A and B are shown apart, each in its own frame.
Chain A
Amino acid sequence: MSELGAKTVLLVGAGGLGCPAGLALARAGVGRLLVVDDDTVEGTNLHRQILFGEADLGRPKAVVAAERLRAAGARAEAHTTRFLPETAASLLDGVDLVVEGSDNFPSKFVVADGCALGGVSVVQAGAVRWGGWALAVQASGAGDEHRTCLRCVFEEVPSGPVLSCELAGVIGPVVGVLGALQAKLALALLAGEAGGALYSYEGRRDRLRLTHPAPRAECPHALGAIDDLERIDYAPSTASA
Chain B
Amino acid sequence: MAVTVRIPPALRSLTEGSDEVSVDGGTVRAAIDALEAAHPGLKERVMNAEGKVLRFVNLFVGEEDIRMLDGLDTELKDGDDVSIIPAIAGGR
Residue ranges of A at the interface with B (Cβ–Cβ < 8 Å) = 13, 15-18, 39, 45, 49, 101-105, 108, 125-133, 153-158, 160, 162-166, 168, 170, 175, 178, 200, 202, 204-205, 209-211, 213-214, 216, 237, 240-241
Contact = CB atoms under 8 A, between A and B. Distances in A.
Contacts, number: 117
Nearest to A161: B10
B90 A163 contact: yes
Interface residues of B, number: 27
B90 A130 contact: no
Contact of A213 (B56, B58, B88, B90): B58
A168 B72 CA distance: 30
Interface stretch (B21-29, B30-38, B60-68): B60-68
A196 to B, nearest CB: 12
A131 B8 contact: yes
B54 A17 contact: no
A128 B10 contact: yes
A17 B92 contact: yes
Q: Which of A13, A39, A128, A214 has the most chain B CB within a 10 Å cutoff?
A: A128
A88 B66 CA distance: 33
Given A128-B10, A155-B56, A158-B86, A16 B63 contact: no
A205 B48 CA distance: 29
4 closest A-B pairs by beta carbon, nearest first, are: A15-B92, A155-B55, A165-B90, A103-B92
Nearest to A12: B91
